[in-house]
Amino acid sequence: MTIAARDVKFPVRQIKKNKFLPAALARPLGVIVTVVVLQVGFYSISWNQFFCGDSLYYLSRQTYNWSQVRANFLREDDVGQYRPLTYPVFTHVFYPLGDLNPRVYHWAGLVIHILISLAVFGFLRRLFVDSQVALAGYLFFALHCVAYFISYDMTFLADWLFAVFLLLMIACFLKFLQDRHPAFWVMTLVWFVLALLSKETAVMAPFVLLSLCMLQSRTAAECSAGLAGRSAPHLWRAVRDVAPFVSISVVYVLFVTKMKGRLYPELPTHPFHFSLAPSNLVKDHKFLFWAFNVDPRLPKEWVEGLSLLVYLPQIALAAWALLRLARDRQRRWIAGWLLFCAGALLFPVLFLVEPPYPHHLYMPLVALSGMIGLLFLRLPGERPLARRLLVALLCVNLAASYVTIWRFNERSWVAHGSKIARNVLTSLKRHHPTLPPHSVVHLTKTKEPNSIWYFDRHSLLQLFYRDASLSMRFEDIGEKLPPKNGPPIPNYFIYGLWEENLELLPDYWKGQSVELLDWALQGEVGEDRTQYYPQFDEFMTPNGRRVFQHALVRQGEKRNTVVTIAGTRLRIPLPFVEPGSWLHVGLASVNDIGDGFNAMLLIESQGQRKVLIDRYMESARMAADAGWIDYHLDLGRFAGSSNFLILVCDAGPWGRTEADWLAWSMLKIDKQKIR
């Protein structure tokens, strides 16, 4: 398929002689090593993220026997998709490597993206004679912001497989076009079938093959400098070569329609519902921004807004690059077919009611990377200024890509879902190190429309407590809470969800326990004036007093608390303490600055005081003090009346009171050791 330099109007040697391209691109190996290092730096930003709903989906649907595998090939999955190959691949290839460790899957995703990027370089090198031109496209693809999602654990397993099989399919088809050997045609067919079994978008792969045929349909004399394509198949030959693949796509669509009973879900609210409403196409404008590493969402904070300034030169340079591409007729023709290829791969998702997602651009980026490579083919009479602008475009593109990746890691749907799943699991494990069989965790009404997705229904509980009898219920989807006036249901736990955090709620059923938080606000406040404040009449607290109520988020959990500042002693009368009672109390530092403070909890019974908790907390320096520190204390020996609970916050040996705010949470008495 490669045109010899002597057959080309502008030989590759002439391009090198003119030194149009950056000198660094003359050393492919060095560029590739540098890009791989940058890939690790760019995409490792997500390594601390937990599993999201889609990754929990694969973890909970493993196929270990042939009957399960066969069933997946004969029916749609739980969300109305047909991707039967993903389940055995995950079960037998990836799960043995990662088990329940999310970081292993992040590493696997990055390695796969690195290998796919190298394969894209090979494809572009095949399409363009000059390796420097191919390297320009490789840089664009390898460090693109969209790859943040592909390298994000096994959430995008279907995209991994589709990308691998599509690139193998392209490689074999290009070899077939060159040698016309039937073995390569058969291999192309095999990879095509595997791609169809991995992701539905593969149904558009014949259009990719048609684009490849047309990119090779010009004679050597008509090709631009450095373009590959020794054979020149006519349109009828291209149609003949691609027709069998089109037939397979048609059969695939008929099979899926027959199996599902419809091609697209009929429910209008289903994310995969097909709609020709103009609003669908309007929202797809985001793909244009993502293609140039620009995140179209408005910033929420000034720091985020300041970082977006890098987008301005990126957009200007991208507009100039497109105009430059349109100046040459031959390049317009090649870019047109590359754009046709990208559009074909993106077409299946353009009319879905679900919002556009950046990862749908991953494989269309291969064709767009070819267009980037075209920019680096010099036009006759072009000035050196163009070279400088292209180098600037690459540099600004990398900066824009990193800014967008950072924003994705803060605000994208996968990162948001991962944070919620991690925070809920961490908080549940804090309250329930173990859960009895058939326990239920019920989440109250939230502002999260996809709350059930973050946990893949019951999967989060069942996987990490290793008990298939556990379940979750969601008021968001109409699963009503049990009646409050009825008897408490054993092992039925009710929590809230607040801005990515689990919310600890008061007891749902009255009489379960004795709540002391409200009582604490009415307690007797004592003060130690040897612990210095500028004034003692009014303090710099929300209510100007030593004791106040405050909602605090720590370690992914929101709790209502009573806060005491340094030099404060709060004495709370206790109700009658029944035999076998337990006191539940949680401590936390409101601020992570200062030299720390001493937290003490005492009980006063019959004139005698007994220390229950004595802990020095320094959250600014000690990680163990930066979260909720919970205690479950046996009050059996204090059964009876005339008891007082004393909450003490002391500034410590240095007497510095700055930021010494101690939050007391839970503060409840019941007959269970662990809630």
Alpha carbon separation from 82 to 72, 158, 201, 203 (Å, rounded) = 8, 10, 11, 12
- The residues facing 492 across adjacent strands are 440
Q: Let me know the angle formed at the C-alpha of 479 by 478 and 481, rounded to the nearest 5 degrees.
A: 120
Per-residue pLDDT tens digits for 80-116 = 889 999 999 999 999 999 999 999 999 999 999 999 9
Contact by Cβ (8 Å): 353, 270: yes
Strand pairing of 661-670 and 582-589?
A: antiparallel
Q: What is the pLDDT of residue 23?
A: 54
Give the C-alpha separation, 486 to 42, whole Å: 54
Residue 138 three-state SS: helix
- Which residues are CB-contacts of 24 (< 8 A; sequence separation ≥ 6)? 30, 31
Q: Let me know the angle formed at the C-alpha of 188 by 367 and 258, rounded to the nearest 5 degrees.
A: 95
Q: Which residues of the chain have pLDDT under 70?
A: 1-26, 217-234, 303, 307, 317, 378-382, 672-675
CA 658 vs. chain centroid, Å, equals 38
What DSSP string describes 219-269? -GGGSPTTB--S----HHHHHHHHHHHHHHHHHHHHHHHHHHSSSS-S-TT
pTM (2 d.p.): 0.88
Q: Residue 404: which of 291, 326, 246, 480 has the closest Cα?
A: 291
Q: What is the pLDDT of residue 322?
A: 74
Euclidean distance between the first and the last CA atom of the chain, given in angstroms as a whole number: 70
Give the C-alpha separation, 511 to 61, whole Å: 41
Q: What is the pLDDT of residue 24?
A: 54
Q: What is the pLDDT of residue 352?
A: 85
Q: What is the pLDDT of residue 381?
A: 64
Q: What is the pLDDT of residue 382?
A: 66
Contact by Cβ (8 Å): 552, 672: no
Q: What is the pLDDT of residue 659?
A: 87
Q: What is the pLDDT of residue 467?
A: 96
- Interhelix angle for 131-142 vs 102-127, to 10°? 150
Q: Which helix or strand (DSSP H or E) is residue 380 part of?
A: none
Q: Which amino acid is at 659?
A: A
Region class of 553: left (phi > 0), else alpha (psi between -120 and 50), else beta = beta
Give the C-alpha separation, 321 to 290, whole Å: 16
Residue 41 three-state SS: helix
How many other β-carbons are positioned within 10 Å of the β-carbon of residue 427?
22
Give the C-alpha separation, 307 to 662, whole Å: 36
Q: What is the pLDDT of residue 13?
A: 32
Q: What is the pLDDT of residue 317?
A: 67
